[in-house]
Amino acid sequence: MKKLLPLALIVTTLSACNTHSDKGSAGAPFANPNDVLTVNNMYDISVVHAAMGKGDAAASQKAFARAMNGYIKGGSPTDIDLFKASICREPSAKAYFELGSALTDAGFYDEAVQSLHIAEDLGYAPLTNLMYRLAQATSNQNLASVDLRDSLMLHYMEVAIQMGYPHSEEFLKDGKFESLRRAKNFQSTFDEAIAAGPGSSSPGRLFWETFRNDFKQLKLPVTINTMWIQNHKLGDPISYDYEKFIPEMRNAEFSREVEPQYYYCGIIQQDTGYTTLLYAGRNEELADASHYTPTSFILTSFDRNGKIIDKMRAAGQESFTDTFKVLTIQPNLTFEIRDYKNIYKNDPEQEGYQKNYVTHSEPLGVNYYRIAANGKFEKIDAPLAMVR
């Protein structure tokens, strides 16, 4: 596979000195309160590295969640501003990638390329999606050298396909790649990339493996309850590029409500035939008087190609009105889910939740399961579930 760094340096330089496309840059009124990173220096990689880990991570994540919620529902200049606000408060590869994607969709191609290369430098994954976005942005740039532009966009397309981009047909059909298809050697480059891709019969296999490998092994036994949630902060959001593996993300596009951000939790079991993962969803805009934000935990089994075998909401709650679930998983892969009703100090229908808080929880019942050899979640009786 070709080295990416030299091309990244070339195109970053070109973005700074060549003629801009119809929309060359997008401004934002936000700046870091600590004056470490601002919209004026956010594409200076040395400043970005100096600012890493020195900002307000909580404020950054809140701005990022708001930006993502707007972006997946159509996008607007406000979302670009919020991505920049997130970066200025605490830079991350994820935020730079999503900013680059939003800039590309909005037509700010030169600035998009700069943002995407910062994401690359910071180690964004999956790299295949970053290469796809670079191919899209570069193919629409108005660079002084057409030959160099063609070389760059063909290179990014080739790497994206070889690394397993799951929708390679877009390069052949999508209107956003008209310039790419007019490039000399487009068809031969595309054909060679497909032939060299990871498993032509399953082009998305590497994409799935990249998603799965971002999860860390979760030590069993584990109980996901209120105390566990308080002691294990969710800090590693899952990219919406992985919506193929998280159906809730696909539903967000059609929802008018504020949608959750999703987070990595851990691997429960990885076998030759299936992998069981635990991820979380949290609505960053909701909180009660105790600063509690509803957080749900989804248990999902996938086959070796990333197809969902089984899934269930296993812990926490999606909203204040849901029952609260407590999940306990044993090393022998049996698990129990206990349901509770949260009782608030004041009637939520009268007082709402923002100035309200939970006083206690009432048990509603318990169900027992096991993860079967095929990855499915089988309901079992209590004695077997309690075997250690």
Q: Please give the mean pLDDT across all residues of the chain.
A: 82
Query: Which stretches does DSSP call E strand in the chain?
Result: 222-224, 261-270, 274-282, 295-303, 308-316, 324-329, 334-344, 358-371, 377-380
- Same domain? For 235 and 191 the reply is no
In tens, the pLDDT along 347-367 reads: 766 766 666 667 778 889 999
- Answer whether residue 320 is part of any domain: yes
- Same domain? For 225 and 186 the reply is no
Query: Average pLDDT for residues 307-329, to the nearest whole number?
Result: 90
The first and second tokens of residue 38, run together, are 């601002």
Alpha helices for 198-298 (secondary structure H): 205-213, 226-231, 247-252
- Same domain? For 268 and 231 the reply is yes
pTM for this model (two decimals):
0.58
Domain limits at 70?
5-203
Calculate the CA 296 to chain-centre distance. 16
pLDDT at position 165: 85
The C-alpha angle with vertex 136 and arms to 133 and 139, in degrees rounded to 5, equals 145
Identity at 104, one-letter amino acid code: T
In tens, the pLDDT along 272-291 reads: 889 999 999 987 666 665 66
The first and second tokens of residue 285, run together, are 């805009």
- Same domain? For 264 and 194 the reply is no
In tens, the pLDDT along 41-70 reads: 999 998 998 898 888 888 898 899 889 888
In tens, the pLDDT along 109-167 reads: 999 999 999 999 898 888 889 999 999 999 999 888 888 899 999 999 998 888 888 88
- Same domain? For 138 and 199 the reply is yes
**Distance from C-alpha of 43 to C-alpha of 45, rounded to nearest angstrom:** 6
pLDDT at position 13: 33
Query: Average pLDDT for residues 257-261, to the nearest whole number?
Result: 65
pLDDT at position 35: 58
- Answer whether residue 56 is part of any domain: yes
pLDDT at position 100: 96
The CATH number covering residue 63 comes to 1.25.40.10
- Same domain? For 185 and 317 the reply is no
The first and second tokens of residue 227, run together, are 């105390």
Residue 17 clears pLDDT 50, i.e. is over it = no
Domain boundary among 161, 183, 203: 203
Residue 262 · residue 279 · CB < 8 Å: yes
pLDDT at position 291: 67
- Answer whether residue 209 is part of any domain: no
The first and second tokens of residue 32, run together, are 């870091």
State the helix-helix crossing angle for 127-139 and 93-106, rounded to 10 degrees: 30
Domain count of the chain? Answer: 2
pLDDT at position 88: 94
**pLDDT: which is higher, 14 or 22:** 22
- Same domain? For 236 and 335 the reply is yes
pLDDT at position 368: 94
**Distance from C-alpha of 84 to C-alpha of 80, rounded to nearest angstrom:** 6
